[in-house]
Amino acid sequence: MRPKRALSCGVYFRALARAVLSKAAQILRGDRDDVARGISLENGKTLAEANIEVEKSADFLDFYAATARMPQGGIIADGRPGTRAMILVEPIGIVAMITPWNDPMLTPARKLGPALISGNAVILKPAREDAPCGVPPGTCAGGGRTAGRSAEPADRRPRQL
């Protein structure tokens, strides 16, 4: 009974992740101009580069939403000639993602999808220099140095077992 229950939970979370990723891609495309303008203002990219980043981010979210339909993962064609990619569905727990300042939208889009469809919880920490476009304050686990400090162990001395 337990394996069936675990499988149904995995299917449920993958379906939920698929819906969330698809909706996020839809929202990004709908607000592309505003999001691109925000990226350009806070990052210094040209508006054309920022628009490309937003569109690529939405494409990644759609791609990972589609891979969530594969119940146990699989092997798919890669974008490079003669290569393939393997999708493994193995939750590891809580995933911490620290994004670089130069790709504030694209890097999270590339990393959120695999983490969510595998059933992981995600803590997203934007670069200190970036304010996440359209994300309400406090949504990401801390800002600046706060989230980084909370991920470090409080006491680094060896402990006797």
Q: Are 56 and 32 in contact (CB under 8 A)?
A: no
What pLDDT is attached to residue 131? 54
Q: What is the pLDDT of residues 38-73, one digit of tens each?
A: 889 888 899 999 999 999 999 999 998 988 887 676
pTM of the model: 0.71
Provide the residue ranges of all domains of the chain, joining segments of one domain with +. 2-151
d(Cα 143, Cα 141) in Å, to the nearest integer?
7
Q: What is the pLDDT of residues 93-130, one digit of tens each?
A: 888 888 888 888 898 898 888 888 888 888 888 777 65
Whole-number mean pLDDT of the chain?
76
Q: Is 102 helix (H, G, I), strand (E, B) or coil?
A: coil
d(Cα 125, Cα 121) in Å, to the nearest integer?
13
- The CATH number fitting domain 2-151, selected from 3.40.605.10, 3.60.20.10, 3.40.50.2020, 3.40.50.300: 3.40.605.10
**What's the distance, CA 74 to chain centroid?**
20
The yes-or-no verdict on residue 77 having pLDDT over 80 is: no
Name the nearest CA neighbour of 54 among 115, 133, 120: 133
Average pLDDT over residues 129-153: 48
